[in-house]
Structure formats: structure tokens, C-alpha cells
Structure 1
Amino acid sequence: MKQFKFTFLAAVAGFAFAGAVPAQASCDDLCAAPVETAATAPASEIAGPALWKVADEDTTIYLFGTIHVLPEGVTWMTPAIDAALGSSDVLVTEILMMPEATVRSQQLVAELGTLPAGTTLRSLMTEEQKTNYEAALAALGLPAATFDPYEPWFATLTLSILPLVKQGYRIDQGVEKVLETKAESNLARDALETIEFQLAIFDSAPMEAQLQYLAQAIDGVDEVAPMVEAMVAEWLEGDADGLAALMNEDLDKAPEVAEALLYNRNANWAQWIEERLATPGSVFMAVGAGHLAGARSVQDQLGQRGIAVSRVQ
């Protein structure tokens, strides 16, 4: 399921709205009790996620790759990360992550992801697709009609999250949520994108493509938790190359998707950083870890602009 690897990791690890799921997967489910995973290693055994910075004479911008959902007990806040955040004036994330913004994101996801009246998700499927889909939902303990009101992209994202929920991954343990809580009222907030922009990437995809991605998600549902556990382990070790190998595998098999989900956004963010260097101050920029790993990463894009990036941790 190599193609599924890319679809899932780009969608879930690469988008800050990954926690906005249908009502059937409520906060009670998403805040379930943790389970034992390889990611819950003692702090003394963790090297720490990678941290970079871009700086000129009066501006410093820290670049930190995030994981949006994590099990409880994962220790990733190192002294270097804490110091970088504490010295910053602004916390910049993909989209605004304050509680009120998160509520609006969830509302908007549900609105845009809802099919027209009289159309159901299963009515768009072939008999084979429907059979596989209903079997996958049954394995997750969900009724066959759970996502009938929703578009395929919404079901795809949610079915990518639910196996993690069952393994104890929690949205309230995600890196942005922790950073937001730690920053509290001490830092200003800014965002690289809007929730509308992120959702449009999925919502604008042709229905046939959406159904294809949903079928891939269904076929690979059992691979999700082991894959993400491996990804978190690489992230905790600060192994950007290992993380890139897991997250960005076989991107050439879906070049148009890679451009939309990763490369175009990386270029946009590099431009944002270049322009922000003209304003004095210190910025802590936290984005999906896949954007800071591998070829055509944000760092690569900055290098093409003649901007040096140094690794802090």
C-alpha cells in the first residue's frame, strides 16, 4: 500500500485540521485513555525532534516540524525547543490553533464536507467499493451509514484518524495543541494559511479521485497505526532523512497530489519566511514535519533563494 502511505501521511501528518472529524468520532473518543507504544520512551532516551533556524542581523525564525496527533506520555519538549519558543515573539502555525479557531475549523470541515441533500456517500460507490467500505467500517465498530452525509475526502481523513484513536493517539496531545497551551498569552499568533485554503485542496478534487483515495485508505487501514508509530519514532530521534523516507515515499507516483499537498505549500512558506526576515523579531514557526524533511522541503526552497538554514537540534 505504498500509494496509501503517501495519501495518508500527507493528509493527516501534513494538515493542521486533521483533528476536525465528524460528530460520530467525538472528543470523548479522541481523548481516549492512552495505550503503551514505542513512542512513549523516557525523556532520557529521546534525542529530540529536529529544530532549525533562519536568521539575519535582527530577525530569527525557528522552524519546527510537528505531529498533529500523539499518544499521551510522549516526551518531545527539549530544553532547546523550550528556549526557542520562550525567546520568540510570535507563534506561527499552518492555521490558527486557538480554541475558538479550532471550533470554527471543525464547523467548516463539516459544512464543506457534506454532500447535497438526497445524495449519500455509498450511493457514489461501485458495489465492490461499497462492500469493502462497509467491511472497513464494521471492523472499526462503526455503522455502515456513519459517513453517508459526507463527501469522500472527509471520510478518507476520518478513517485515517480513527485507527490512531483506537491506539491511544489524542488530538489534545498533538504538538500544536501543546505549543498553544505553553505559549498562552505570552506570544502573538499568526498563520501561514487559512482553514478555507487547506480544505479547498481536498474539496476541489474530482469526485472520482476522492473515491480512489477513499478506497486506498480502506485498503490500508490496518497499516496506519504501525506506520505512524514508526514515523513518530524517527521524529523523536530528530532523523529528518528517516522521516522523509517514511512520509514522502513514492511521491513520484502521484505528482499532482505531491505538488498540491507539499511542494507548492513549501514554496509559499519559504516566500513567507523570506519576507518575514524584513521585520525584526523572533518567530517560532511550527508546521507538519513532512514539510521540513526530504527533497523540495521548506529548507530546500529557502536554499534556492539564497537563505541559509542552520540546525539547532
Structure 2
Amino acid sequence: MLSSWLSAVVARCRPFSRGAAIAFALLTAACSAPLPMPPPMDIPHGHGRLWQVDHPGAPPSYIFGTMHVTDPRVYALPQAVETAFTEADIAIFEVDYRRPMSLEKRRQYIELPKGQSLEDVIGSSTYRDLRRLIFRHRLPLYNYFREQPWVSWVALSGREISIGQTESPEKPILDDWLIVRARKANREVDFLETAQEQWQSFAGIPMDDQVAMLRSAIETYYDGRLRVDRVAVYVEGNLALSYALWEHSLSHLGPVLARQYTDRLLNERNHRMVERMLPYFERHSAFVAVGALHLPGEEGVLRLLEQRGYTLTRLQ
């Protein structure tokens, strides 16, 4: 399965009706034999959602792992999270999802160079296979013929059948909900990344790799999928399982491409976000909220902070 943030990228590219989403899920389920869940990975900081961050001479700060969804379960914050959120004097978030990027700017990350088509890039045979999947399963791809391969790849690469999730287009995702609350309380709000940087994480993938990823997704589209209540995994704070699900979602790529993709979408961004949050920790009691998948692992945000001399204490 792709992370909720990756799925949201495609959703922001174009409209996706609720009816089409339901049909897509049902057709995917009908064509897939469910697989057993992967075992949780043995990684640093594999459980939890909230940590206190301490450093000599600085006030305590907090890091909270979010999930970029609107399922009502994610809004039921534990008391420890509420306390940290209300007591910190500045709230720092991954990116301002509420500030839309202009269509012209989005196009530079999505569309192929003028005069070039997706069929030119991936070849006629692969293009025909992609068209069959799009029309057979009503995939949310409308201008795919002139867009970069990564856009189609995201739409095809849902490696699981989501269960137990309730999404509402009228509600803000958890991150946006917290941003609104912080601003209503007249607290300072800042961000670790720009929307352009997040889009560039995809558009910057070398074209040969984008083509290889899309071809692999097409070839393995009917392979068995997991049945996962991903929100329940998040609410339980099971980061070790979340990371195992991430790796499973990329397993069809092979080890080299999967590693490159993890480096680009997680590890490189983890390093960048840590460098940008350090000045806040020196001057403020900060509440930092980023996607939960950025927290665990040897190159996760929490281990990177420990390597810089910070003490991490899990609170929830």
C-alpha cells in the first residue's frame, strides 16, 4: 500500500468521485486473493505516536506522528497528545496542505515536456496494457496520456485492500485539523517543507526509474493484496508494522528501486526536516507533527535526533 500522503497526491491532481473510489476498491478486491500480513519490522522506535524531546539548556519539545486522513478515529487524541499540543508555544507541521498550489505550478511536476506523450516514454505495448487497466477498473486517471509515469504508478500501486476506514471529503485531514486549532488559539505556526519540495520528490525521480516502476506496477497489478485497517494500525502506534506495510507496498519494484524510492520519499526528507526543526528546539517548546512513517527506523526522525544529542522519551 502507498502511504496516505502518496494517495493524496493523486487526489489533488484531479477529481475522484466517491462512487468511482468505491467501484475501484470493489473491483480490486474481487481480483485479488488476500495475503497474510507481514511481520512487524525490528526497527528503532517501532511503537508510539508521541515523544518528548529534551536537550540541555532548551525547554522540552514534542514530536507527534500523524496520519494524513479524515477517518474520525484519528481525531480522538490521547490526553498526553492534547497536553503537549496545548502547552507548547509553537506548532510545527510537515507542510501547509491548506495552501493550494496553482495549477500552472502543479503542471511542471506532473506533465511531460511539450510535444511528448506517455506512450512515447513507456512504449506502445506498455501503454496499451495501462489503458486496459484504466478503463477496466475505472482508475482515477484522466490526463494520463500527457503526464509523467509516476502519476499512473501512484494510482496503480495500492498494494492493499483498505478496510475499516471512513473518509469524508468535507473534513480536514488530521494535520490540517491541528493547524486550524493552533491558529484559532493565536499560536505561532510554521512548516518544515514546501509543497513544491513534496511534489519534487516525485517529479525528480529519473525518467528511466519512473518507467520501470510503472511497468512493474502494471505487471503485478493482479497479484495478491493485503487486507489492512491502516487507521487501526496507526491508532495502536504500531510503527513497526506500518513500516513493514510500506516495504510490502514497494516489493514489486525489486530491492534497488525500492531502496531508491524509500530514500527519496522518506529518508532524504527525514534528514531535511530534522535540520529544519533543530532551530525551533533551541528557542521554543515546540510541538512538531509529521507523518508517523517518518519517525521510526535507523534513518527516521527520532533516531536522527538522538544522533544529534537529543533525548527522546515516549509519552504515548
TM-score tier (shorter): 0.7 to 0.9
Whether the 8 Å contact between 2:73 and 2:231 is mirrored in structure 1 is no
Q: What is the CA deviation profile of residues 144-181 of structure 1, one whole-angstrom value per residue up to 9, with x for unaligned ones? A: 754223211233334557x879x754564532122223
Structure 1 residue aligned with 2:204: 204
The amino acid of 2:302's aligned partner reads: Q
Runs of 4+ in 1 over 6 A off after TM superposition: 26-32, 222-225
Structure 1 residue runs without a partner (length 5+): 36-47
> CA separation of 1:126/1:19 partners in 2, compared to 1, >3 Å: closer, same or farther?
closer
Counterpart of 1:60 in structure 2: which amino acid? Answer: P
Q: State how far apart, in whole Å, the 2-side matches of 1:307 and 1:143 are.
A: 44
Q: 2: CA distance between counterparts of 1:177 and 1:31? A: 25
1:175 aligned onto 2:179:
no
- Take 2:144 and 2:200, find their aligned partners in 1: how far apart are those partners? 19
User: Residue 148 of structure 1: which of 145, 150, 153 is its match?
Assistant: 145
The partner residue of 2:16 within 11, 25, 37 is: 25
Stretch deviating more after TM superposition (142-151 or 124-133): 142-151
Q: Could you tell me which residue of structure 2 aligns to residue 258 of structure 1?
A: 262
Q: 2:125 aligns with which of 128, 131, 149?
A: 128
Contact residue 68 and residue 176 of structure 1 kept, 8 A: yes
Superposition deviation, residue 237 in structure 1: 0.6
The Cα RMSD (Å) is: 3.7
Distance 1:154 1:189, change over 3 A: farther
Q: Contact 2:141 / 2:152 at 8 angstroms: preserved in 1? A: no
Contact kept in structure 1, 2:7 and 2:155, CA below 8 Å:
no
**C-alpha deviation, 1:31, in angstroms:** 12
Shift of 1:220: 5.6
Q: Give the secondary-structure state (helix, strand or coil) at the position aligned to 1:104.
A: coil
Query: Does 2:66 match 1:69?
Result: no
Describe the SS at the equivalent of 2:85.
helix
Please give the alpha-carbon distance, in whole angstroms, between the structure 1 residues aligned to 2:211 and 2:217.
Answer: 10
SS of 1:309 mapped into structure 2: strand
Paired positions, count: 284
Once residues 9 and 192 of structure 2 are traced to their aligned partners in structure 1, the CA distance between those partners, rounded to angstroms, is 16
Which residue of structure 2 lines up, in the alignment, with residue 42 of structure 1?
A: none
TM-score (norm 2): 0.74
SS in 1 for 2:91: strand
What amino acid is the match of 1:197?
E
Residue number among 113, 116, 119 corresponding to 2:116 in the alignment: 119
Amino acid at match of 2:116: T
Q: Where does residue 39 of structure 2 map in the other structure?
A: none
Structure 2 gaps, min length 5: 27-46
C-alpha change, 1:118 and 1:273, in structure 2 (3 Å) is: closer
